[in-house]
Amino acid sequence: MTKLPGQVLDRVPRVFCAYVLPKLATVLFALSFLVLILPLAYLLALSFTDTDTLTMNGSFVGLRNFQRVVQDDTFWLAGWRGVLFAAATAAAQVALGLFLAVKLTRPFPGRRLVFALLLLPYAVPIVAMSAIWRWMLDGQHGIISYFMRVLHVFGANTDILNSPTTALAGVIAANIWYFYPFVLLFIAARLSQIPAAQFELAETEGVPRRRQFWTITLPHLAKTLGFLFVLRFLWMFNKFDSVWLLTRGGPIGTTENIPVLVYRECFHALRLGRAAATVVLAVLFLAILAITYRLSSPLRAVVFRRGLCWCRRIAAIARSRIRIRSQLRTTSFALWMRRQVRPSPSLLFAAVVLVFPLLWTLVSAFRPLDDLFQQPPSLIPRYATILNFSELVAKTDFVRQLLVSCLVATVSAILSPAAALGCVYVLRRAPPLVSRLARPLSLSLYAVPPLASVIPLFVLFARFHMTDSLLGLSLAILTISLPFNIWFLLAQLRSLDAHYEEAAILDGVSAYRRFVDIVLPAIRPSIVACCLFTFLLAFNDYLFAVVFLHSADRLTVSVGMANFVEASAVHWGHLTSAVVAVSTPMIILLLLGYRFLGERFVGVSVASSVGGNK
């Protein structure tokens, strides 16, 4: 039979998708792991040398660096402080993210905007917000300190970030604020994958909200919350910029964690070898923690099963009564819908508190400079002005930097999840041992601090003339985003119902088609979450941009904004207006992202219930 031209053309993309893409995915997988592993190997090699940071010269010294590091009390103190800081911030971020995500499942007018506003802290460059947090927490003229004085929360003359007793608490509070949106984003994605029928049934049975949360939501989220806690712990343990910019590890070293110690070793003491040894020991510690987490899975499984058991019981009871009470169900659902149009007061309170730093920045951006430091601080400006914005546009390269950042972030947001999907596709078909090792391995790579991998990566990229290139920067950002994306997508796949795929296998559907037609649609919210995460990460990146780029016309907005915070002065007008200017497109992006992620996520119960009624 002769093929029509249209059919021939139709086959080209199919052949491409069925044969070329899987091969491409394999290559991507190999390249990704190579790019991720090389800096680690380089770092390990450096740790056995006495390499000087500024000359890069050094000789083999065996285990001497490790010996010196473990004999130093500072290392153990920094480690302990790092554990405390990471555990506190990770736990609080997960708790806050969970609270907000669950509260946001209820529909109310302006929900999208609240969702976007709540994600915003993650989008604003840390270097800018750190200066603003320092200002707000200043003991003499900071607005938060002023409120605390009025409310008698702290003593009259307390300066939170600069007091040895409160500095760590201040740093923890700021870091919870910076990063809770990350958790919110991923819990939101996971919530959207909970079968809506369970909420519907519980609702028709009159199961109270609180009980629904404990018996349905939490058991479903248990694994994700565990993952997120571990991830946030690893990430916060490696956190450098948000600690350094707030306190530089002081006062009296009370906020010094391992990355700050590494930075000081590397760029102050100029002992790159010893800094590398410190990183290697820290990564080992994190790897032990990750393995412990992995080994504790039977215990976690028991908790998880118990939760699910409750969930099933409710579903069973509901199923037996659903027909009898169909009329009642309609009535109760209508009541429930009416109840939902009001946002939860606790959500509104939390949103106001969490958005306050940005609100303060917004108000400050429209203030004249001589009104910024009035005593006592006031939320109402003497008069509003747009001078700060006009100066920002006229006297700086802000607009170009913003466009460059958007470009880099967009490419990264496509490249990284695409590469992660390629890796996931390959790993699902790999031998069981490789597949089993993939998750802990990607988790271990996530444990390598970016500060430690930036120099080896730069050297590597320089060999291929990819420094001072935005494409090179996007690829470098892959090294920090890819491990997480692989790990998260693998975790999501594990929680998928295997029956559909098994049925497809019985029908003789190819692996590629199963992946595209079954797996991808099922994890779509997670992919969107990965895209958003990577976009925000790339947009916010400072370290890689500052090292990899050097032409003035290629600087990103976070580097540009960092220049508003000089050693001797802060350009408040430029800084606050830049934060507002950056936030505006971010809100639009997050509203768009919400269309793909949020609609299903927040409307999960309602949509299904309405569908059920029909």
Partner 1 sequence: MKNKIVIPVAALLVVLIYLLSSLGPWGSRGGGKNVLRLLSTETDPASVEIMKRLVTEFERTHPNVTIATEFLGFEAMYPKITAGIAAGAPPDIVGITNEETLALASRGQLEAVSSLIDAIGRDDFFVGALGEYEGEDYYVPYAMSILNLYYRTDLFEQHSLEPPKTWADMLRVCERLTLDHDGDGTVDLYGTAIPLGNGQATVNFFCTLLFSNEGHILAPDGSLVLGKGENRLRVLETIRFIAALARFSPPGSLGYEWKDLTAQFYAKTVASTYYAGRVIGLTERHAPGTPIGAAAYPYAKHPASATFSDGWAIVAGSVNRALAGELIQHLVSGQGYIDFLHTVPLHMTPPRRSVGSDPRFLANDFVQRYAHIKRVIDATANDAVNILAESGTMQPKAADIIKSQVIEEMLQRVVSGDATAEDALDDAVAKLKDILGE
Which one, 461 or 601, has the nearer CB to partner 1?
461
Which 548-567 positions form the footprint of partner 1 (CB under 8 A)? 550-555, 559, 562-567
Q: Shortest gap between Cβ of 463 and partner 1 (angstroms)? A: 8
Question: What three-state secondary structure class fits 146?
Answer: helix
Q: Interacting stretch for partner 1, rule CB under 8 A, among 81-89, 131-139, 180-188, 577-585?
A: 131-139
- Secondary structure of residue 568 in the 3-state scheme: coil
Cα–Cα distance measured from residue 75 to residue 68, given in angstroms and rounded to the nearest whole number: 10
Name which of 356, 349, 351, 350 is nearest 129 in CA terms.
356
Closest approach, Cβ 143 to partner 1, in A, equals: 12
How many other C-beta atoms are found inside a 10 Å radius of the C-beta of residue 500? Answer: 14
Residue 459 CB, shortest distance to partner 1, in Å, is 5
CB of 402 to partner 1, least distance (A): 15
45 sits near partner 1 (criterion: CB under 8 A): no
CB 440 within 8 A of CB 230: no
Task: Please tell me whether residue 435 binds partner 1 under the rule CB under 8 A.
Answer: no
Read off the amino acid at residue 321.
Answer: R
Least distance from C-beta 247 to partner 1, angstroms?
A: 6
Member of 1, 295, 380, 569 binding partner 1 (CB under 8 A):
569
User: For residue 536, how many C-alpha atoms fall within 13 Å in the half-sphere facing its CB?
Assistant: 25
Taking the chain, what is the end-to-end CA distance rounded to the nearest angstrom?
46
Check residue 424 for interaction with partner 1 (CB under 8 A). no
Q: Applying CB under 8 A, what is the total number of residues that bind partner 1?
A: 94
Q: Which of residues 388-407 bind partner 1 (CB under 8 A)?
A: 391, 395-396, 404, 407
Nearer to partner 1, 248 or 342 (CB): 248
- Residue 542: exposed, middle, or buried by beta-carbon count in 10 A (0-12, 13-18, 19+)? buried
Phi then psi for 52, rounded to 5 degrees?
-90, 140
Q: In the window 370-389, what residues touch partner 1 (CB under 8 A)?
A: 370, 372-373, 375
User: Is 470 an interacting residue with respect to partner 1 (CB under 8 A)?
Assistant: yes
Q: How far is the CB of 408 from partner 1 (least distance, A)?
A: 7
Decide: is 54 part of the binding site for partner 1 (CB under 8 A). Answer: yes
Place of tokens 């899987």: 22
Work out whether 571 is an interface residue with partner 1 (CB under 8 A).
yes
Binding residues among 471-500 for partner 1 as defined by CB under 8 A: 471-472, 474
Q: Is 544:475 a contact under the CB 8 Å cutoff?
A: no
* Under rule CB under 8 A, residue 156 binds partner 1: yes
Q: Taking CB under 8 A as the criterion, which residues in 257-316 touch partner 1?
A: 264, 266-270, 272
State the residue for tokens 């499984």: 301
Chain residues 518-547 in contact with partner 1, contact rule CB under 8 A: 520, 543, 546-547
User: Which 576-605 positions form the footprint of partner 1 (CB under 8 A)?
Assistant: none
Q: With contact defined as beta carbons under 8 Å apart, do 65 and 276 qualify?
A: yes
Q: How far is CA 599 from CA 97, 106, 516, 594, in A?
A: 18, 11, 22, 6
Q: Is 510 in the site for partner 1 (CB under 8 A)?
A: no
Ranges assigned E (strand) in 390-532: none
Q: How many whole angstroms separate alpha carbon 563 and alpha carbon 566?
A: 6
- The minimum distance between CB 349 and partner 1, in angstroms, equals 28
The amino acid that residue 567 corresponds to is A
